Amino acid sequence: MVHQPSQHRYIVTVDGAEAGEASYQERANELLITHTFIDPTYRNKGLGAVLVHRTIDDIIQTSDRVITSGCWFVTAWLDAHPGYIETARSGGVDAELGNSCRIVS
């Protein structure tokens, strides 16, 4: 897992190749995860769950921002792991994006 703050994303690699990414936006005291993507070559191997879990872990460990989801996959992962993010740190689902994923450039 590699955090690329200048590109507002986390990437996951497999044998040195970029296999997926989680993009985000920073807003005031909030970090909004807007998009996740796993290259089709690496899908159905649990890599998306690893990407989301490690992204959230890094945000929790390196910032005090509230974590909000604007991506259906992130929301599904959080629903499957209730209580993973403390209530005080959970921003829930973004009102504008809902559960749609949007690529941030």
Residues 37-82: pLDDT tens digits?
999 999 999 999 999 999 999 999 999 999 999 999 999 999 999 8
The answer to whether the CB of 23 falls within 8 A of the CB of 104 is yes
What's the token pair of residue 93? 């689902």
The predicted model scores a pTM of 0.90
Q: How many Å apart are CA 27 and CA 17, to the nearest integer?
A: 30
pLDDT range class, residue 100, cuts 50, 70, 90: confident
Domains of the chain plus CATH, in order, are: 2-93 (3.40.630.30)
Q: How many Å apart are CA 37 and CA 10, to the nearest integer?
A: 11
